[in-house]
Structure 1
């Protein structure tokens, strides 16, 4: 029931690419997320795979047990699944200690790193983790897509938060 009410609230506030004034986010939406090609029927995994392709990701870190890592290497054999400095971090289960470790480590996050978090509206705890991330000083752009959230650390970008329907 929690997720249902959160989804209704999200739909009332969310926009599409026409409500976005950031060229970086607009390009990401129109040239990546809104393309017709579907990699996977699950929205979060589709967003993950499209983002890997769009940003030419070479190194991915995930806290998944292996199924997502295997899917990534099936679609993109040249992408490495590693723990050190990465281009994209995918968190299937966001946990405060893990996110704190990632944010405090200078080796984990570069200017072009993307943090993709699954199920940001699963429960109140996940939503609190998402809100804490939005308020973090290192974060410049967040995109709330209900099913998942994308976090960017671009220093050249003004701090902005978007709610986007995908």
Structure 2
């Protein structure tokens, strides 16, 4: 599917916060994703910045080392004793194979853990992997923008998949 057609199709399928009928996701979108300063930030990693701001994770696992001055890591607790499972936030620059391993290992995460995946549509295989990952049995909620996604494990939440306009 061509890039432009894919973006237009996504835009028609996606909703903004007013089309969301999940109080948990609506609150996240309203208070973080569509709020300043996240709303006016760069497009990529916007979902990650909103998750960091709204959920305040302490134990963060990254697939690749982020620069020490990265705005994403700023203000996170850098205490090395906290950087062990279970993690509050997993950060993946793309939908990698290792994500499925983490989803299958309940000892790595807890009910409130979040998985961030970037570059969902960097290639056809990456998007196919995202679709496979987002339907994993342990995932209760998938939240997707065109370029990035979040996964939630909240057992009290109905299984849902949201496409969000940026």
TM range (shorter): 0.7 to 0.9
Q: TM (normalized to structure 2)?
A: 0.88
More displaced 10-residue stretch of structure 1: 19-28 or 101-110: 101-110
Q: Quick one: structure 1 residues 109 and 30, their matched pair in 2 at CA, closer, same or farther if it must change by over 3 Å?
A: same
Secondary structure at 1:88 match in 2: strand
Give unpaired runs (5+ residues) of structure 1.
none
More displaced 10-residue stretch of structure 1: 101-110 or 38-47: 38-47
Q: String of CA shifts for 1:57-85, please: whole Å, max 9, x gaps.
A: 11111112332774333x21425573532
How far apart are 1:128 and its partner, in Å?
Answer: 0.9
More displaced 10-residue stretch of structure 1: 18-27 or 53-62: 53-62
Aligned to 2:137: 137
Give unpaired runs (5+ residues) of structure 2.
none
Q: Quick one: structure 1 residues 37 and 79, their matched pair in 2 at CA, closer, same or farther if it must change by over 3 Å?
A: farther
- The answer to whether residue 48 in structure 2 is matched with residue 36 in structure 1 is no
Structural RMSD (CA): 2.2
Asked if 2 retains the 8 angstrom alpha-carbon contact of 1:32 and 1:54, the reply is yes
Q: Which has the higher helix share?
A: 1
- The answer to whether residue 93 in structure 2 is matched with residue 113 in structure 1 is no
Q: How many correspondences in the alignment?
A: 164
